[in-house]
Amino acid sequence: MLIDPMATLWCEGPRSTLWAYEVCDAVEEETFEINGIVMSDFVFPAYFDLFRLKRPGSAQYDYLKRVRRPFHILKSGYSGIRHNRRTVEKFGSRDKAKRFALEDRRWHRSQFRKRNRANW
């Protein structure tokens, strides 16, 4: 919510795609603890740097250091991707896609992003 409160930001990605500027989706379900409080993993701004695809080890991409290159989706994650006027979810694994399909997404911010996109 602090990064993109209106769910309207997109980032240029590989192969003429746009990626939703979401800081937890690609590493979703990965957690760590701080003083006994469970926190969600998150990606750093370098994750969205297209030029870093040619230099994959040039930055830290997520807090837990599990992401190896920009636009890499962990097995437990997903991302909203737009290509040729079509938006899809790309999943890190089939298991994640199955879990995702079972979720009630009616009030999830990604649904607002899809509605906002319809006005383009």
pLDDT score of 118: 47
Quick one: average pLDDT of 83-100? 92
Nearest-Å Rg of the Cα atoms of the chain is: 14
pLDDT score of 87: 87
pLDDT score of 119: 45
pLDDT score of 111: 62
Examine the pLDDT at 107 and tell me if it is beyond 60.
yes
- At 11-45, the pLDDT tens digits run 999 999 999 999 999 999 999 999 999 999 999 99
Phi-psi region of 15 (alpha: psi -120 to 50; beta: other; left: phi over 0): left
